[in-house]
Amino acid sequence: VYFENTMTKTAFPPKATGSQIGMIVNSLTNIGVAVLMSFYFSWKLTLLILCFLPFLALSGGFQAKMLTGFAKQDKQAMETAGRISGEALNNIRTIAGLGKEKNFVEMYEFQLDAPYQAALKKANVYGACYGFAQCVVFMTNSASYRFGGYLVKQEGLHFSLVFRVISAIVTSGTALGRASSYTPDYAKAKISAARFFQLLDRIPTISVYSDKGDKWNNFQGNIEFIDCKFTYPTRPDIQVLNGLTVSVKPGQTLAFVGSSGCGKSTSVQLLERFYDPDHGKVLIDGHDSKHVNVPYLRSKIGIVSQEPILFDCSIAENIKYGDNSRDISMDEVILAAKKAQLHDFVTALPEVSFPFRGLSSRREASEVEKKFVFRERAGHRRSPRKGKQRGQRE
């Protein structure tokens, strides 16, 4: 959650990276060379055109803003509409069961209506802005050619130099305006880059890559929560656990029952060391969880989640993920599937010669069967050599 929220805040503005940097450098170089060249050919005509240069840059900026304005302003509404449609598709069975299809369609149409109405209202404004942008270019050309004709007639300036000066400055000035429309995003990009590198340099207190921490051979599975208090970092004002004290011995079954948000899943996350308690201790075989090696601890725990998500591979491969420390034979997989009451379901599937090898678990398995696979994966944690069942909690 922390990583997702941070990445959302530090998303780099698309106009501040990639080819846009080259466009800005190219525009600045063009305007510099154009001004020097124009002063060399005709300094009088150049001074006249330079008076219009701020308006040329402004017109170019207007054009660039118009091309990207609608997409930028309506992005949030489109994202909300996309979230609604995604939520509806992912939970289509529940929505159909409750008869709420029409409600989701109306919510989706409501989110699309706002950008549509905004586009209608802004059409006249953008039309006026576009007209101003084009008007400035034509006014600059008319004034420049009029004064250029005067210089040709009165001072003997060659007509080709008039075209060179006007084309150089007008074209480069418009390009400079387009490039200047991207500059406000660079302040945001600088802040975003700082946050991004701050995230990369952050040293987590709980690291899955660290070799430090306690490990012991005779893992029993004695669990004890001692006066545990906890609040999530993103919600420090909400006390989730307020002095949880409970102990579980090997072989015992413990059920946490309560309303949503009372700390049932949080207690399991403290046991897995996704978080550490703000106050109190979690003891595992007498070892403080804060001092236990994280990969070692998680290798001893089997979890069957409420909403199982399987990998896009065969059921056999999903079961084998329960123990990545050794190669698991197909006989072990079949035996484990029988223990989890999954074997009959897999072998009964049509048009699959070797169901355990070829079945796409995400496509065929229902939620109940996914939980069977999850239960088998969680229970399929054996020692690489001794073959003894590891301590686990569900």
152, 45: one domain: yes
Based on the fold, state whether residues 181 and 228 are members of the same structural domain.
Answer: no
The reply to whether 75 and 105 lie within a common domain is yes
- For the ranges 200-209, 221-230, 358-367, the lowest mean pLDDT is seen at 358-367
Mean local confidence (pLDDT), 67-75: 59
In a domain, 161, yes or no: yes
Residue 128: the pLDDT is: 75
- Sign for the CA dihedral angle at 363, 365, 371, 376 comes to negative
| Crossing angle of helices 330-339 and 367-379, rounded to 10° | 120
**DSSP characters over 112-136:** HHHHHHHHHHHHHHHHHHHHHHHHH
Average pLDDT, the chain: 76
58 within 8 A of 179, measured Cβ to Cβ: no
The answer to whether position 176 is within a domain reads yes
Look at residue 19 in the predicted model and tell me its pLDDT: 67
User: For 337-346, how does the pLDDT look when each residue is reduced to its tens digit (9 = 90+)?
Assistant: 888 777 787 7
Tell me, yes or no, whether 287 and 319 share the same domain.
Answer: no
Does the pLDDT at position 216 exceed 80?
A: yes
- Residue 243 sits in the same domain as residue 319: no
The model's confidence at residue 225, banded by pLDDT at 50, 70 and 90, is: very high
Domain assignment of residue 27, yes or no: yes
The reported pLDDT for the residue numbered 392 is 37
In this prediction, residue 371 has a pLDDT band, given cuts at 50, 70 and 90, of low
Q: Is the dihedral of CA 121, 124, 126, 128 positive or negative?
A: negative
For Cα atoms 332, 271, 306, give the angle at the middle one, nearest 5 degrees.
Answer: 65
Q: Is residue 217 part of a domain?
A: no
| Per-residue model confidence (pLDDT) at position 245 | 93
Whether residues 109 and 234 fall in one domain: no
Q: Which CATH number belongs to the domain containing residue 228 in this structure?
A: 3.40.50.300
Q: What is the pLDDT of residue 71?
A: 56
- Residue 287 near residue 214, CB atoms below 8 Å: yes
- In which domain, by residue range, is 327 found? 302-394
Q: How far apart are the first and last CA of the chain?
A: 23
Question: Does residue 22 belong to any structural domain of this protein?
Answer: yes
Distance (Å, whole) CA 60 – CA 173 = 8
